[in-house]
Amino acid sequence: MSIWFTEKQTANFGITAKVNKTLAALQTDYQDLKMVETVEWGNMLLLDDMVMTTEKDEFVYHEMVAHVPLFTHPSPKHVLVVGGGDGGVIREVLRHPSVQKATLVDIDGEVIHYSKKYLPTIAGSLDDERVEVKVDDGFMFIANSEKAFDVILVDSTEPVGPAVNLFTQGFYAGIHKALKDDGIFVAQTDNPWFKADLIHQVFHDVKEIFPVTRLYTANIPTYPSGLWTFTIGSKIHDPLKVKQERFHEVDTKYYTPEIHFASFALPKFVKELTE
């Protein structure tokens, strides 16, 4: 008999994947964590029965969170990642030679531990000498920071459980304070098919705080609907005005300079969420 995992992405729709075996299953202090080996996607991290990342398609999300803002900023030296205990965003951040220090703050240390164990190609860079890992509340860490970071990347789960506060205007105001005078931040903001109201709310909350606010998209097949959005808020620098000489060679599978600009070309029904 085959074993299948199904994520119910809405009350009436879900995706399913054939599972070879369960590698880990536990209740952490914050959420239900499972690591499963799937036939199609390789090892898959599940939090509260939602797909967080897989070995096969993880590069899309992690590259698009990191490289869009890091190529937009002229000289990113100090970078903060909130959430992202799987380490994929950190891995991409370190591809930028200007980065001197990357700080990871994740509330759940078990995510970091099991990602290192079962997702080494994703989490391997967490041991880099430029990386500082903190098991802490990202909301409070941001609240206690001021003009400390060039770029802040919010790699959160969906707005449930410990991630609820990471989708509030107060959090974005805290990010503004924690960024340097020419700072940039990006947050994953879910999908437009099932979470249109969330995207609309986040975009306009960020727009009230940051002079430059943009929405961009990427195709991530194991995330709800496959069409994923990211909201960028910047104090000065516009991701649509990056000069070609800013781009240097990076080892990517999805992100390119062409994709950088093209990802901001939104389908009409998505663009309407920003108006």
Can you name the residues that pair with 13 across neighbouring β-strands? 10
Binding site for S-methyl-5'-thioadenosine: residue ranges? 31, 106, 137-138, 162
Active site residues: 155
Residue 235's contacts (CB-CB under 8 Å, 6 or more residues apart) are 176, 179, 181, 182, 183, 184, 210, 211, 212
Torsion sign across C-alpha atoms 7, 219, 254, 203: negative
Binding site for spermidine: residue ranges? 62, 86, 155-158
SS3 letters across the chain: CCEEEEEEEECCEEEEEEEEEEEEEEECCCCEEEEEEECCCEEEEEECCEEEEECCCHHHHHHHHHHHHHHHCCCCCEEEEEECCCCHHHHHHCCCCCCCEEEEEECCHHHHHHHHHHCHHHHHHHHCCCEEEEECCHHHHHHCCCCCEEEEEEECCCCCHHHHHHHCHHHHHHHHHHEEEEEEEEEECCCCCCCHHHHHHHHHHHHCCCCEEEEEEEECCCCCCCEEEEEEEECCCCHHHCCHHHCCCCCCCCCCHHHHHHCCCCCHHHHHHHC
Binding site: residue ranges? 31, 62, 86, 106, 137-138, 155-158, 162
